[in-house]
Structure 1
């Protein structure tokens, strides 16, 4: 969303107050006062049933203990630096979550499901004739998601009905096709997977799809199954490759197959089972790295909160989930919600999502449940009660005198399945690849003009890729919200419980002092628009 002049003035006006507030803030469990580990420091406590007790026991060091375990899992030689779904590193991460939660006393289950696995290790692409040219991945070409491995050397390019919007969509397009050559097709009308499948059936050694609009073509074949390499290129390059006598070299090293992964679900039964307070974080990383901020941070914070509230006697049942295959299209959370009966979906009173809560150049972002900063996603109304979830997190930040702002429900993280099911949702996010603005640097610290997480979806998302202040504050915010709503969700869905011991803040949403009047564009979460969401149906 474009930031208006009045928003900028408001942000600047808050600058002086912000400096004073930040200087005077006393965190509930700040880094300097962190105990040697949340669960260890509080293991003699039988119950942490007040806000003060729970946030005292949920410590930065306790969260870091779990993040160090995730880093060690990724670093193990057999895990090759990743915790992606479908790899041994993810299974080891799920084992760790189950072990910690069972030991704390939670009821734990693991929900397995099949999913399409894809990993690209390397690629190269060049023109041999008529003019030797080496192309750069990411700008000149992009291997499509679910492309097969393969190598072609000095193979001729055969254009396939490239002046038609249905290029490659019909088997008749390949009549007379020279087997062993590379098929060149234009994007449009039908999915990329259909074009590639038709080309493979005609004997093509590879497929190059060129865009029908300006810019690179990031595409997906939709699922494993295509048996030859497939890449996307911009329009101009595609037209150049149609020149008579063109030959190319193309090599792709990838894995594309159906694998199995799982969700880990833990439950703390309350007095009633038909008003479940649910919170989730995706457990998987991308294949490129260990995923310590994305999303070890949300996963570790949930473990730490769970371990320290395991003996609380709550009116509402609390259910935590660590999702699999989020990075491949929100698959775990979608599978979970789809597997529920209508009665089971009705029993979920609300959902809280925590995806990246320790970004190194962070902003404090709360999903915009009252739609005051962003409109509802097209065709997806935000369920009633989501505004009150936003206010619960605002209550916490206001009490701590910490600036915060809204972030849109963009469909880029696991709350999406719950919103589509009509379940009130909310959560926290500290930013991914988008750029931090000057007003945000003034309010939160950090550096304007730099991404919230410069190592987002890269090998550098490791144990050093965190801001301890954000991670500590947000872990306490998670503890506060889960405990408060576990006692009483009336403000969200009308189901009366009892007040959380220690009280709730419940300030007037219209009188917020620390809410920034500026909006964070492009949404929150680990899943981002790219070739996983571009299926080629567009023309």
Structure 2
């Protein structure tokens, strides 16, 4: 790791049902792996995870309503998790790093007849001039992800109106800028809700002012007179801040065989982030605490990570991976990522490792099987670079994970297969103030906790299990 600020060491307490350390033949290890996976899945419950989610909600309530990276709410969340992991006997590292924190100071979109349209500035947006920017609109074709969506000079000198989906906000901004647009306004793909925020992922991606509005407002603008100018005011103040990843690993395992499971702990500044991503963090944390009851090493080193600044562009996980030596990267057998595992209109998705780093396709198969054991038919989704698996895959490390959906809309087929409401977003409170304790599906949380526990339990004794096809 590049930065190790503080290591907290605590002795392991007496552990019930402890699987003993020591060399074991392959058959014995396979038996231990199955036993550990089974007991861990039984012990890792929604009740346990909900205790952590309740703590995250209380922290947000006492910290300005959010747990964003660089804020007191995130620091308190990291301390809460780190203290529990230390007490459970893990070797805990607090890995601090600096980043460019953004605070929005202006966000307004006004039509020429004086009507205000609610808009949210994207993190790392370029600022409009002090007196705002006035220009007509132009609707991007498709989803604004390719040059063909901005034909000829149709967007030159205009504000591009772009639908959300398929590619990153940064990619939309880049294409709009290349077409000569002076700003980009992205309207939501979800039918309900208000304006939405997001991130361009990096300060260098702020090539245009970019903001998010509701779908209803976007469609209304697109259907109106595009030559009538609108006024856009977007501004953010930049400030260098420090934040922290929490890393916890077992003792007594093989340091050259490392299995990792992680989730981002930070929220957006718009809300407490209980589903995104308190749910994944609580799932990883609870699995780690229950693993400490049953495993003292003898197989792999199991390392858990609670990343920061994911919402600012995967900064925490990227800082960690960038700081690994070649040998440290080679030691990691697999990285498992859990981002949003309790969406209220839940889908059951497993990242499709086909064509990704070697072993990733096998991880997809195993996680799919863990859901199938519960009677759930998972749907594969591509790695799209939107979560903390991305730096691992870029480094050639096998990765996988499960996910219950964000702003996308549940289809009729999915509703028939999984229940829930077709045509509605998987998480109607994605990146919003209402992402609180009421924005969870307990059954989805329970199902994904079993996935995490089964995966960690198996790979603790058999670190290549997940990357080997069955």
TM over 0.5: yes
**1:97 partnered with 2:81:** yes
1:10-49 map, 5 Å: 45-47=16-18
CA distance in 2, matches of 1:350, 1:464: 33
State the Cα deviation string for residues 364-392 of structure 1 (Å, max 9, x = none). 111112x3xxxx4xxxxx01111221222
Q: Shift of the alpha carbon at 1:363? A: 1.4
Q: Shift of the alpha carbon at 1:144? A: 7.2
**1:338 partnered with 2:322:** yes
Counterpart in the other structure of 2:97: 113
**Are the structure 2 counterparts of residues 465 and 125 from structure 1 closer, same or farther at C-alpha, using a change threshold of 3 Å?**
closer
After TM superposition, the structure 1 stretch with the greater mean CA deviation from structure 2, 253-262 or 461-470, is 253-262
**1:57 partnered with 2:43:** yes
Counterpart in the other structure of 2:150: none
Q: Secondary structure at the match of 1:384?
A: coil
Q: Shift of the alpha carbon at 1:213? A: 6.2
Q: CA RMSD in A?
A: 3.7
CA distance in 2, matches of 1:47, 1:143: 48
Q: Shift of the alpha carbon at 1:294? A: 0.4
Q: Shift of the alpha carbon at 1:126? A: 4.3
Counterpart in the other structure of 1:323: 307
Counterpart in the other structure of 2:296: 313
1:237-252 map, 5 Å: none
CA distance in 2, matches of 1:352, 1:145: 28
**Are the structure 2 counterparts of residues 436 and 92 from structure 1 closer, same or farther at C-alpha, using a change threshold of 3 Å?**
same
**TM-score after normalising by structure 1:** 0.64
CA distance in 1, matches of 2:385, 2:325: 23
CA distance in 2, matches of 1:250, 1:387: 45
Q: Secondary structure at the match of 2:345?
A: coil
CA distance in 2, matches of 1:221, 1:279: 23
Q: Secondary structure at the match of 1:390?
A: helix
Q: Shift of the alpha carbon at 1:124? A: 2.8
Q: Secondary structure at the match of 1:359?
A: coil
Q: Secondary structure at the match of 2:203?
A: coil
Counterpart in the other structure of 1:73: 59
Aligned mate of 2:338, from 348, 351, 354: 354
**Are the structure 2 counterparts of residues 158 and 69 from structure 1 closer, same or farther at C-alpha, using a change threshold of 3 Å?**
closer
Cα contact 1:151–1:252 (8 A) shared by 2: no
1:409-448 map, 5 Å: 409-448=383-422
CA distance in 2, matches of 1:410, 1:70: 27
Q: Shift of the alpha carbon at 1:272? A: 1.2
CA distance in 2, matches of 1:100, 1:251: 44
Q: Shift of the alpha carbon at 1:145? A: 3.1
CA distance in 2, matches of 1:114, 1:256: 13
1:134-213 map, 5 Å: 134-138=115-119, 145-146=124-125, 152=131, 212=180
Cα contact 2:360–2:467 (8 A) shared by 1: no
State the Cα deviation string for residues 139-159 of structure 1 (Å, max 9, x = none). xx967735569964xx89799
Counterpart in the other structure of 2:114: 133
**TM-score after normalising by structure 2:** 0.72
Q: Shift of the alpha carbon at 1:491? A: 4.0
1:367-382 map, 5 Å: 367-369=351-353, 371=354, 376=355, 382=356
Cα contact 2:159–2:183 (8 A) shared by 1: no
Q: Secondary structure at the match of 1:326?
A: coil
Q: Secondary structure at the match of 1:327?
A: coil
**1:489 partnered with 2:463:** yes
Cα contact 1:123–1:143 (8 A) shared by 2: no
Q: Shift of the alpha carbon at 1:44? A: 6.9
CA distance in 1, matches of 2:400, 2:449: 15
Q: Shift of the alpha carbon at 1:422? A: 0.4
Cα contact 1:289–1:460 (8 A) shared by 2: yes
Counterpart in the other structure of 1:531: none
